[in-house]
Amino acid sequence: MNKLDLYLLRQFWIILGISVLGFVSIFVIVDLIENLDRFMDNKVPSPIVIQYYLYTLPWFVSIGLPMSMLLSTVFSLGSMVKRNEWTAMKASGISLYRASFPLLLSGIIMSGGSFILDNKLVAIGNEKRFEIDRDYVKRKSRHKLKNTLKNIFLQKNTSIHISLSKYYIKKSTGHDLTIVDLGHSNIRKRIDAKKIEWNPVTSSWVLTGYSIREFNEHGVETRVTLGKSDTLITLGFLPEEIQQQARKPDELDYFKLTERIKKLKENGVDTLRWEVTRYLKISFAFTNLIVVLFGIPLVVLKEKNSLSFGAGASVFVIFGYYAFIKFGQSLGFNGIVEPLLSAWLGNILFLSGGMILMWRAKT
């Protein structure tokens, strides 16, 4: 790595640091303004509010990093073009690909760092943030709460696993219940029901269309109880536990999501949304590399107006990129395309576009 690489990297990383700090500051201020009435309505203590935003910071850094990478690429190269340094480089026989090497290398490094950040700090931060939101912020809030929970998975202890495809909070009813008691090595009991409804009078659940299966120590089914009519039964959990313990995919890292998907599949639960979220945790990390690849030709294609054109085009690129990510995610959630393709749709399109622009810029 020569002095030219170090010179370009120094400019890139300085602008990157300033950009990340600026975006995170904007995100915190906007989010605080949006949630201030909720904090005040619920009388949330100041230390809890501070904790809330400390846990939120990794997520803000994660979503602001691709935008910062693109702006850093545009302004670090754009300033060289403006000072005629880019012209001097070309006159010296340095190709676009060679000059882009340190920026692309930075994109690769930041993609790996983004994956680690998302699957370590962001996952833990989201879990803690959602806990504060459930325990302090949403209580007695004047904002409308989400009434429906989907693809719920609870673990009462090391052996009992509970899953529901849907749960309606206001009605205290759920659909497609599965309770599995795995024991130490083999399954001991399994309860399935099409619908459950909480009966506050008897403090028990009303099961509709249920089956109860019991197994011996070898995992062989020994007893089956089928019921079409409603029956009251104590399942070992309360409606409040479903709201408090039901975890969202965003609260889990890639590896825990993989384990969760495996358990859900074993229980016969649809894992489509979970799989899309898992693949997105990988594809989103590569956003940092792809925006650098896309940003380089935005500057050198129009050298006379490199900074103004690059900065303006960056806004459209980043919002278009996020729009395609959400579009692919929506297609995956609805089962229109495979989870892997839905997560990588935006990356494939913009990677192809970036490579075409790089080729045009070279020629």
Strand partners, 214: 189, 223
Average pLDDT over residues 17-39: 91
According to DSSP, residue 348 is labeled: H
CA distance 119 to 32: 25
Return the pLDDT at 143.
41
Q: Which domain holds residue 164?
A: 157-236
How many CB atoms are closer than 10 A to CB 293? 20
Average pLDDT over residues 58-68: 91
**Is 28 in the same domain as 102?**
yes
**Is 15 in the same domain as 125?**
yes
**Is 69 in the same domain as 186?**
no
**Is 135 in the same domain as 282?**
yes
pTM of the model: 0.70
* Assigned domain for 355 exists: yes
Q: Please report, in angstroms and rounded to a whole number, the separation of the first and last CA atoms in the chain.
A: 25
**Is 97 in the same domain as 51?**
yes
**Is 343 in the same domain as 222?**
no
**Is 10 in the same domain as 127?**
yes
Structural domain count, the chain: 2
* Assigned domain for 246 exists: no
**Is 126 in the same domain as 164?**
no
For 188-210, letters b (16+ CB in 10 Å) and e give: bbbbbbebbebeeeeeebbbbeb
**Is 135 in the same domain as 182?**
no
Average pLDDT over residues 191-211: 86
* Assigned domain for 247 exists: no
Which residue bears the tokens 């709201």? Answer: 243
Average pLDDT over residues 239-244: 70
**Is 127 in the same domain as 183?**
no
235-240 — which CB contacts under 8 Å span 24+ positions? 235/162, 235/177, 235/179, 235/191, 235/196, 235/204, 235/205, 236/156, 236/160, 237/154, 237/156, 237/162, 238/198, 239/169, 239/172, 239/198
Which residue bears the tokens 């894992």? Answer: 271
H helix or E strand, kind and range, residue 233 = strand 231-233
**Is 109 in the same domain as 12?**
yes
What integer best gives the mean pLDDT of the chain? Answer: 82
**Is 16 in the same domain as 134?**
yes
Q: Tell me the CA distances in angstroms from 24 to 62, 292, 311, one per residue in order.
A: 9, 20, 19
The tokens describing 115, both together, are 């994956």
- Model confidence pLDDT, tens digit, residues 92-124: 788 778 888 889 999 999 999 999 998 888 888
